[in-house]
Amino acid sequence: MKKQIILGVLYVLLFTSCSGDESIVLINVDGASNEVTVNPSTQINLKEKAKFKIGAAVKVADLQGDVNYSNAVRTHYSQITAEYEMKMANIWSSSTSYNWTSSDYLVNYAKNNNMEVHGHTLIWYNSFPDWFKNAKYDSIVFESKVKIYITDVVGRYKGKIKSWDVVNEVFADGGALREEGIIKTVFKDPIGFYGRCFQYARAADPDAKLFYNDYSVVLDSGKRAAMKNMVKKFKAKGYPIDGLGDQFHYGNDTNKQTIISGFLDLASTGLLLHISELDIKVNVNKSDSYVFTDAETQKQAATYKYIVEMYEALPVNQKFAITTWGVTDKYTWLTGWWHPKEYPLLLDNNYNKKPAYQGFLNGLK
Ligand code: G3I
């Protein structure tokens, strides 16, 4: 079927060939022609092809300050996660006040752009506000105040935020309970406290999906065992949990078989699984002389492809979302935390689709 589109001084004749690729013949007014083959799959965007949510961690300042960033979020993603603005330290300003400005902005942005919001995160050792930590509450008062916080936050966004990371990163490498933070110092049974936090969230919004989120889960069998044991304890106590998140901050060099076997083990819980903070490091040796060559971009594309294919192999009732931790290499957290020469995401600094984007797309069924 031919379509003729007149674009200014150019005639564009669109031929749909039998291979399914579209060849576009550009003819200028002098009659010179130039045929360009465009594979339709490169035209479809992630959120249009995916049968589950495609999320991105976003920041209000970037949504407000960079129109290309906001356009990219709307174009490619169907869900947003606050990279930091929905954490306790950013909402819970004092014992008598909350700051809803950023979280309200993000919820409204998502609503206005027909996107979902994944709430990140209610309880994280790294994000208790200083005023709270300095109060040195005993376990009774500590928990009563946290219950009010969870009830107020989840309640405010009831029906608007469809899922929450209720608790984030409580296990250290190997699976022991993390020593940092105040939880371990306040509670003799931290797991019981976490379970009750899931109860408080469920009571505040019975329809929200409630997740436990951590990193290196599919690589660290000890941490995975500790998580599975916590899920068992939750179920025995009647504490609600709907899903588990592995952040997936991995690299081009992460062992593929280890990832896949760990992921299958995690899937054996039968819970929803969220690849919750996906980014694929390429400068794995933190080299100052690193060059993101074409070969490196293709390796990254292959890594994204097999991770997405692995996720697609899940039973449909365990699929929730794949979230990239950021939108563009331009603003990735890794250039600060890992190395300035790092290019972990799907869009480059100019919001162009990288081979990694195509790899992700090719992994989708
Ligand atoms: O934007 C403000 C800026 O206006 C202010 O001047 C500056 C100094 O206070 O802070 C800036 O905000 C910083 C924000 O990142 C944006 O860059 C916050 O201080 C800083 O705490 C925040 O760090 C975030 C970190 O979590 C802590 O919340 C990172 O962006 C975010 O990528 C990181 O994400 C975590 C996940 O939540 C959990 N998994 C690991 C992941 C990476 O550490």
pLDDT (tens digit, 9 = 90+) per residue, 247-278?
Answer: 999 999 999 999 999 999 999 999 999 999 99
Q: What distance in Å separates the CA atoms of residue 20 and residue 43, rounded to the nearest whole number?
A: 13
Question: Going by CA atoms, what residue is nearest to atom 20 of ligand 1?
Answer: 84
Kindly report, residue by residue over 169-225, the tens digit of the pLDDT.
Answer: 999 999 999 988 889 899 999 999 999 999 999 999 999 999 999 999 999 999 999
Peptide bond into 121 cis (omega under 30): yes
Domain ranges, ordered by start, for the chain: 1-42, 43-363
Among 230, 321, 323, 202, smallest CA distance to 273 is for 321
296 is known as an active-site residue: no
* DSSP letter string, 277-293: EEEEES-TT--TT----
Cα-to-centroid distance, 129 and ligand 1 (Å): 14
Question: pTM score, two decimals?
Answer: 0.90
| Per-residue model confidence as pLDDT tens digits over 83-114 | 999 999 999 999 999 999 999 999 999 999 99
Q: What are the percentages of helix, strand and coil residues in the chain, rounded to 5?
A: 40, 25, 35
Q: Which of 59, 84, 86, 342 to mutate to test the pocket of ligand 1 (most atoms within 8 A of CB)?
A: 84
Can you list the alpha helix ranges (DSSP code H) found in the chain? 40-43, 46-49, 60-65, 67-76, 88-91, 101-112, 130-134, 139-156, 183-186, 190-204, 221-237, 256-267, 294-312, 334-337, 355-363
SS3 243: strand
Ligand 1 pocket member 247 (CB < 6 A): yes
Q: Which of 143, 169, 180, 312 is catalytic?
A: 169
- Domain 43-363 CATH (choose: 3.50.30.10, 3.20.20.80, 3.40.50.2300, 3.40.640.10): 3.20.20.80
Q: What band does 41 get if pLDDT is binned at 50, 70 and 90?
A: very low
- Report the pLDDT averaged over residues 54-64: 98
| 277 in active site | yes
Pull the structure tokens for residue 64.
């407000």
The average confidence (pLDDT) of the chain is 92
Q: How far is the CA of 60 from the centre of ligand 1 (A)?
A: 12
Residues 6+ apart with CB under 8 A from 153: 91, 98, 103, 119, 122, 204
